[in-house]
């Protein structure tokens, strides 16, 4: 599922959207792998969007920070 449906009225450039999309997909995978069925994709998207609104556009940083906010550590082998 892409992050675009969750952006609503938010305005981001193509670079930021690409970074958010990559982070969103990776965080969704990590959440699913962790067995955390209590975390909705809307929650993940909201966290990623909030971080991007604070001018973070590195997909790796977005992923790590979103996972941290969800109480999950980054996956082994990820930068």
Domain that holds residue 30: 9-69
Would residue 79 count as lying in a domain? no
In a domain, 35, yes or no: yes
Confidence at residue 9, expressed as pLDDT on a 0 to 100 scale: 81
Rounded distance, CA 3 to CA 79, Å?
22
Mean pLDDT within 19-35: 94
Q: What's the pLDDT at 74?
A: 61
With respect to residue 30, please indicate whether it lies within any of the assigned structural domains: yes
Q: What is the mean pLDDT of residues 52-67?
A: 95
Number of domains in the chain: 1
Residue at 65 is within a domain = yes
Residue 2, in any domain of the structure: no
Is 55 a domain residue?
A: yes
What is the band of 64 on the pLDDT scale with cuts at 50, 70, 90?
very high
33 part of a folded domain: yes
Mean pLDDT of 33-39: 89
Torsion angle defined by CA atoms of residues 38, 66, 50 and 57, in that order, rounded to the nearest 10 degrees: -150
58 lies in some domain: yes
Q: Is the pTM of the predicted complex or chain greater than 0.75?
A: yes
């Amino acid at each position: 599922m892409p992050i675009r449906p969750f952006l609503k009225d938010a305005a981001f450039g193509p670079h930021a959207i690409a970074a958010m999309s990559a982070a969103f997909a990776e965080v969704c995978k990590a959440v699913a792998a962790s067995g955390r069925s209590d975390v909705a994709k809307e929650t993940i998207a909201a966290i990623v969007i909030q971080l991007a609104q604070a001018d973070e556009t590195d997909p790796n940083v977005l992923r790590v920070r979103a996972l941290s906010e969800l109480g999950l550590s980054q996956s082994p082998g990820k930068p």
